[in-house]
Structure 1
Amino acid sequence: MATPPSEYAMSRTPHFQELRTASGSDNLQGCFHFLFTQQHAEIDGLINVLREKRDELFKKIERMEKLVEEGEGFCVFHDAGNAGLECMKETLKTDKKMLAGLTDLLEVACEGRRESRRHVSRFE
C-alpha cells in the first residue's frame, strides 16, 4: 500500500482525495476501478429507465395511431371531432420526435456502457 498523501498533496488534489476516501484505496488503480465501476452501474440504471420509457412511449404511439385511423372515419364530420383529430395528429408527431430522441439517447448510453466496461476491465 502506498504511503498516505502529504498535506500538500491533499490540498492540491481535493477531488482525488475525495475519490480515495470513497473508494477506500490509497492507490490510483483502486481509485479508478471504483470510479469506473460506479459509472458503469449508473449507466446500467439509466439504460433500464430509458428502455422502459421508450417502450411506454412506443405503445402510446401505437394506440394514438389507431385512434387517429379510427377517427378519420367519423371525426371529420364533427367540428369538435375534426379539431380533436388535428390535435391528436400534432401530439402523435411530437411523440414520434420524442421517441426518436429517446432512442438516440439510449444508443449513446449503450455506447457509454461499453466504454465504461472497457475502463473497468483495464483497472481490475
Structure 2
Amino acid sequence: MATPPSEYAISRTPHFQELRMASGSDNLQGSFHLLFTQQYAEIDALINVLCEKRDDLVRKIERMEKLVEEGESFCVFHDCGDVGLEFMKESLETDKKLLGALTGLLDVACEGRKEKRRHVSRSE
C-alpha cells in the first residue's frame, strides 16, 4: 500500500485537490470515478446533440435533392433558373460534406463514450 502524500505533495496538486473535494472523498479511486463519470455524461450529451443535428441535416439533404430533381425539369426554361439550380446543387454538395464530417465526429464521440464507460467501470 502506498504511503499517504505529504503536505508538500498535496500543495503541489491543486487540481487533484479540487477533484478530491468535488468527489467528497479522500479516496483517489473515488475521485477518478467522479471524473470519468462526468466525462462520460458530457460525451453522451454531445452524442445526443450530434445525432439530432445529423438527423436534421439528413432531412434537409433529402428535401434539397427533391428540389433539385424537380428544378431540373423546369428551371432551365427560366431566366434565373439555371443559376438558382446550380446554387442549390452547390449547397447540396456542401451539406453532404457536412454530413460526412458530422458522421465522422459522431463515430469519434461514440468511441470516446465506450472508452469512458470502460474507465468508469474500472474505477468503481
State the match for 1:23 in structure 2. 23
State the match for 2:70 in structure 1. 70
1:20-99 → structure 2 map (5 Å cutoff): 20-99=20-99
State the match for 1:104 in structure 2. 104
Runs of 4+ in 1 over 2 A off after TM superposition: 4-7
* CA RMSD across the alignment: 1.5
C-alpha separation between the residues in 2 aligned to 1:40 and 1:14? 23
Q: Which runs of 5+ in 1 are unaligned?
A: none
Compute the displacement of 1:10 (Å).
3.0
Work out the percentage of aligned pairs sharing the same amino acid: 79
Q: Which runs of 5+ in 2 are unaligned?
A: none
Aligned-partner residue type, residue 117 of structure 1: R
Compute the displacement of 1:6 (Å).
4.8
C-alpha separation between the residues in 2 aligned to 1:28 and 1:116? 17
State the match for 2:12 in structure 1. 12
TM-score by length of 2: 0.93
TM-score by length of 1: 0.93
Compute the displacement of 1:89 (Å).
0.3
